[in-house]
Amino acid sequence: MTRLNEERQKELEPKRIAYAKAQLEKLEFDVTESATELRFIYNGNVIKFFPYSGWHSGKGITDGRGIDKLLKQINRSKNEQRNSNS
């Protein structure tokens, strides 16, 4: 028996990839897509996001799970940068 429900993954993953990619592109990131992950550059570092599991990892962010948590981290950091430049 495999660890994942592959049918469920095949059903959900494309929707999750599309949603995550759209959200990251709204924040003006250039997103690269592969079969199971999204990659983008944040503060000069590659960030990987795995849409099915929700896991995100990379230098410059706190590793964790969930697109909403990743977006919060990135937005918080962008807002802090804007405020320090003002």
Q: What is the pLDDT of residues 12-33, one digit of tens each?
A: 889 999 999 999 999 999 999 9
Can you name the CATH fold of 6-85?
Copper Amine Oxidase; Chain A, domain 1 (3.30.457)
pTM across the whole model: 0.83
Separation in Å, CA 9 to CA 16, 55, 70, 80:
10, 14, 21, 36
Whole-number average pLDDT of the chain: 89
- Sequence spans of domains, the chain: 6-85
